[in-house]
Structure 1
């Protein structure tokens, strides 16, 4: 009995110590004080009378402090879109606002507010670009059939970008990355495109940009570069979102996804393997990178996420060390390492990057499916943000009998859905996302130990 108070005291002290070690999270919902909305006059305009919400958060970069205000740069993706049934073997996608131009925006965080301001559409000498997929036949084409909300086909766009990451260029502008090409894009402070780099075309191939390793053309559709960062020495590191699918054979078994290094000064490239938590997923392709940010010339932070074997979402921030990682470039011509299991990688002398867990966002209460932006505020603080997908989702209208799923149907490319080869009255509509998925959550996380 005499030991009971001491045991209780020790237990209390342990509990307090454990709680004290937890990261401290400040949660914000991003607002748009300038009234920014995406114009929409389509078939479902009555459901969105004020237009569509802007979907920032595809990338995040801390810029500076102004007194007590934190200032970030962020970028949108390709614009409002929703899933629709296949067209034969092709995937299709509804683009609710086909003329939408991906945008740079500034986030200002102060007190209990996180406000997005100063929207700047991406543009080139021809004007604003769009987020429409590239035409078939080009490296970077996704084999998607782009549709308007009446399910009628839209043309591809050679200038189209699906932007997903942002990092400063050190001169007032930014480097961005994209999921189509996949591309690395240099823009000035106003969003004007200065240069674009993508997989270098080989004989018989056509591309809109080059200078990067050809092998990354095998990215899974819409899983190109999902994040990038500028290292202190000036190199750009871009992360392929998921495993490459080389010749359609490796996405389900590859043990890593690629981190591509590009030196803008020399054009030199290298590639490193980031080891996914392969045993946690049903298939390797289910692992996805959210974003990356440099710690120094050898280390970076990286979000790995995706549904696990039990369909539970994982959102984890890792510290990744590239110091002992093998440059994969010299192995690709013999046989890309994506075809190798762990023992074969070892036998070939291939070492993947090392990693250690920094933060499990789910354990801190993260509810969004994805965390798509990651940045470092200071050595004690990081920030993450989700992409709200412009607040819309697809819905099936007037389903036929027991055919209650969109995948039961096909699109005919002429404005109709078909079932067993016959046109039906069923439609794919769009409706608002529910909260919290419709919101842009920004978390500023005070770590329990310095980076």
Structure 2
């Protein structure tokens, strides 16, 4: 058996080298060599290997597609565009799938769900996690796609959960609230809501029928990520609205909200009761609506927080942002409460895939492995067999260019890959850890991401509370999409 494994590894590596050499040989066809397509089949383990391109003969040697054959032999194959290199690793595998089988009822037929972030605390059992839900059930009504909130009194919340035996059990529900003596403008209580903040820059909120406008809530939150700081036992959450990051105590009390420069004055004028600090770069206020901060994580030593914008921003305009691959990730010194870094993360090129738009290639979550190395959850909008980008990358920031306060920060979205190289900007290094779509992941939203141990990753999906639009009679539709956690084992140690 060991001899076969060694032989298989040698075969895959030889094929990688052969494919690279083959590309060079094919390029020399003009000098007299000729590439001829073949029709013979390739078999592995008694099954025929399906390839997107047929093998070819060049100067008497046969060249086969590396990715298809490598995967058939149990290898994960990665092409790195920036470094122009190929990596082969042992194929990760799904160790377990756990499902939230009995979510609580919110209103009507709507159930709890919408899990958008995930974190595993040091010292907790391997099957215990903290997660959070976003702004609550919401939909798009009518031809104008009015943003509706069928459960307008929904309170953003953190869940402590146990994932074991195929089920997700809620151990504790922690609802977010203001400090004692403070009253939320919309709820008229200390509890916060998931409603938009400002009329000038947010979506217009409507009730579940799509016929009545709701009031804005300057303290409202659309939560997407959760991190834990071991130095002071607090959670840090990411919010899409402003965008912002928030420090929250274990009981759900919001200690402070950190927003882009210039946003504090607007929120206070609108009646915000949260303690607000406007220390983030002003350019972040130019996020595309509903595309603010998505992922957030804290280094294991508690020194640094990283927050990722979901998709490129409207800099200088929305059209440029939607066509860009350039995503921003901020770094904050938690002791000083000061932003100390801004880095470029280059998303996958939508043109390399089928039925994928560049604006839909986004970051969904982060999970820190060390001070300078993070896991990054990158995904598209497709699901099931149509899904192509559901990937966890290892991103190394140790050699990345710090763009904070530089001229590049003002026009980052419009730069091409060639221009980035020309200007000497070094993005975060990317290395594929697991292609989750290859493991049969069925959901559109690969959302929450956490490291369980050196060989295990956990991910959860946001099922959007089961909201599936409106029917022809204007009634809200609810589907049966479940909330699930996938535990994935990887061959190489996470570090």
After TM superposition, is the score higher than 0.5? Answer: yes
Q: After TM superposition, list the pairs within 5 Å mapping 1:203-282 onto structure 2.
A: 206-207=266-267, 209=276, 210-233=278-301, 234-248=303-317, 249-269=319-339, 270-278=341-349, 279-280=351-352
1:169 to 229, 232, 238: 229
Match of 1:108 in 2: 162
Measured at CA, do residues 334 and 27 of structure 1 come closer, stay the same or move farther in structure 2, by a change above 3 Å? closer
Sort the Cα spacing of 1:350 and 1:144 in 2 relative to 1 into closer, same or farther, 3 A. farther
Contact 2:326 2:412 in 1 (8 A): no
SS of 2:345's partner is: strand
Shift of 1:250: 2.0
Number of residue pairs the alignment of both structures matches: 391
Please say if residues 148 and 154 of structure 1, whose CA atoms lie closer than 8 Å, have aligned partners that are also in contact.
no
Q: Which residue of 2 aligns with 1:136?
A: 199
Q: Spell out, residue by residue over 1:21-62, the C-alpha distance to the aligned partner (whole angstroms, 9 max, x if none).
A: 432311111234xx6321x2xxxx4xx2xxx21114210011
CA-atom RMSD, angstroms? Answer: 2.8
Secondary structure of the structure 2 residue equivalent to 1:190: coil
C-alpha distance in structure 2 between counterparts of 1:111 and 1:65, whole Å: 21
Structure 1: 5+ residue runs without aligned partners? 1-6, 398-426
Counterparts of 1:340 and 1:12 in 2: how far apart (Å)? 46
Structure 2 match to 1:445 = 488
Distance 2:344 2:73 in 1: 37
State the distance in 2 between where 1:29 and 1:182 align: 30
Q: Which residue of 359, 372, 379 maps to 1:305?
A: 379
Q: Residues 97-130 of structure 1: CA distance to partner in whole angstroms, max 9, x if unpaired?
A: 0010111111112233321231111110321100
How far does residue 202 in structure 1 lie from its aligned partner after superposition? 7.8
Question: What TM-score results when the alignment is normalised by the length of structure 1?
Answer: 0.80
Matched-pair contact (CA < 8 Å) for 2:114–2:136: no
Matches within 5 A, 1:8-27: 18=74, 21-25=90-94, 26-27=96-97
- CA displacement 1:356-383 (0-9 Å, x = unmatched): 1111111101000011100000001110
Determine the structure 2 residue equivalent to 1:321.
396
Secondary structure of 1:220's counterpart equals coil
After TM superposition, the score normalised by the length of structure 2 is 0.73
**What is the aligned partner in structure 1 of residue 359 from structure 2?**
285
Within the candidate set 109, 115, 126, 1:57 is matched to 115
Aligned to 1:79: 136
Residues 1:386 and 2:461 aligned together: yes
CA 1:207/1:349 → structure 2, altered by over 3 Å: closer, same or farther? farther
Q: What's the CA shift string for 1:360-418, capped at 9, x where partnerless?
A: 11110100001110000000111000011112221232xxxxxxxxxxxxxxxxxxxxx
Once residues 272 and 225 of structure 1 are traced to their aligned partners in structure 2, the CA distance between those partners, rounded to angstroms, is 14
**8 A contact 1:384–1:443 mirrored in 2:** yes
**1:290-333 deviations in whole A, cap 9, x for unaligned?**
1110011111111111148x964421111111112112223347
Query: CA–CA distance in 2 between the matches of 1:324 and 1:86?
Result: 47
Structure number with larger C-alpha Rg? 2
C-alpha displacement at 1:66, in angstroms? 6.2
Q: What is the deviation of 1:196?
A: 0.5
- CA displacement 1:180-218 (0-9 Å, x = unmatched): 111100000011100110111189x73454111111111
Q: Which residue number in structure 2 is paired with residue 349 of structure 1?
A: 424
Kept in 1: contact 2:260–2:279 (CA 8 A)? yes
Once residues 321 and 354 of structure 1 are traced to their aligned partners in structure 2, the CA distance between those partners, rounded to angstroms, is 5
Give the match's secondary structure for 1:250.
Answer: helix
Partner of 1:294: 368
CA distance in 2, matches of 1:191, 1:444: 27
User: CA separation in 2, counterparts of 1:122 and 1:202?
Assistant: 21
* Residues in 2 aligned to 1:97 and 1:364: alpha-carbon distance in whole angstroms: 35
Report the alpha carbon displacement of residue 441 of structure 1 after superposing the two structures with TM.
1.0
Higher relative contact order (CA 8 A, sep 6+): 1
- What pairs up with 1:114-153 in 2 under 5 angstroms? 114-125=168-179, 126=183, 127-137=190-200, 141-153=201-213
CA distance in 1, matches of 2:218, 2:238: 16
User: Partners in 2 of 1:70 and 1:136 — Cα distance?
Assistant: 42
